[in-house]
Each structure stands twice: as structure tokens, then as C-alpha cells.
Amino acid sequence: MDLVLGTRAEYQILLASPEVNGFFGAKGVAGAIPAAYVHIERQFYQEVCSLGQQERVRLQEYWRRDWTFHAKGLWLYLAGSGLPCLTLIGSPNFGYRSVHRDLEAQIAIVTESQALQQQLHQEQAQLYLRSGAVSPATFQQPGRQVKLWVKMVTPLIKNFF
């Protein structure tokens, strides 16, 4: 969280809506995983808003009927540029588990090629076409109420995501 909130860079973060989480509708404890993500998302969004940074740090949720969301990546746009100059290929997971526990491999592609930059931009833009901006209303939608036990357990297990 500090990595994002402690800078002046602009961020556009794409998240999975609960319905496109692979655990949505699962039986047992696994079925609560989308709610745990909603809880973490809400806490982060509230922190962004409390610091007045919602114009600099924008959250979007991906949604597509009957699909699961497994896209992830990082595209770096330099200030004043409409095209990315850097992207990561491989397993760009940025959660605690991936950074501190798992062995992940990625390659950074840095380019000045306008054609490649345009392709990278289109790839990223396609994901955002199926997303909506996160706002306070997002957390009032049906199915966004997080059960108390999930709120209590999430801090204990969030390092495994």
C-alpha cells in the first residue's frame, strides 16, 4: 500500500469483481475468498479517499459474464506519454505471497518502438474496456456485504494471496 500511496505517480489499478474471481460460488471456506478481496479492496479504497488521492490512484473492476479474471500485468507510461514504454511478461503477481514466498519469473520489456508500444497499449486497453470505476457505490451493490467472520480472518490470511 505504501508503494502506491507514498509516491506522486498516477496509478490505474484493475481488479477482479467478485463475480469473475475463480472462487466465486465455491463451496466451503473457499467461497469466501472473493469477499476477502472485496474487504481488502474496500480498505484500500477508503485509505486512498481519506488521503484525497482518488484522482491519482484510480481503481477499476473487471467484469465479464461467465468469465474468470486472470489477467495481470504492469504497463509503465511516462509522464505526458499516451503509450507504455515498459511492460512485464511472465508471472507479474504483486501480492505478498508472490513477492515473499513463491518463486516467480518475469521479464521486463523496455521499448522505444512506437509499433510495439501501440500493441502493448491496445492489450491493456482491452482489459479496461470491460471494467468500471470503483466508487463508494461499488461497495453498496448486492453481494458486497462482507460477513464479520471474513473481516476478522482476512488480516490473518491476506499474506497467502
Give whole-number Cα distances, 4 to 38, 98, 155, in Å: 19, 18, 20
Give me the sign of the Cα torsion angle 81, 15, 145, 4.
negative
- Which pLDDT belongs to residue 91? 66
Encode pLDDT of 136-158 as tens digits: 999 999 889 999 999 999 999 87
Encode pLDDT of 60-116 as tens digits: 999 999 888 877 778 899 989 999 999 887 766 666 666 677 777 788 899 999 999
The residue to which cell 511478461 is assigned: 89
Encode pLDDT of 34-53 as tens digits: 999 999 999 999 999 999 99
Per the prediction, the chain carries an average pLDDT of: 89
- Which pLDDT belongs to residue 140? 96
Give whole-number Cα distances, 84 to 15, 31, 61, 71, 109, in Å: 20, 36, 21, 17, 10
- Which pLDDT belongs to residue 92? 60
Residue 59: how many other CB atoms lie within 10 Å? 20
Residues near 15 by beta carbon (within 8 Å), at least 6 away in sequence:
37, 41, 59, 60, 61, 62, 134
Instruction: Record the pTM.
Output: 0.85
Ordered by where they begin, the domains of the chain are 2-160 (3.30.870.10)
Encode pLDDT of 13-41 as tens digits: 999 999 999 999 999 999 999 999 999 99
- Which pLDDT belongs to residue 2? 82
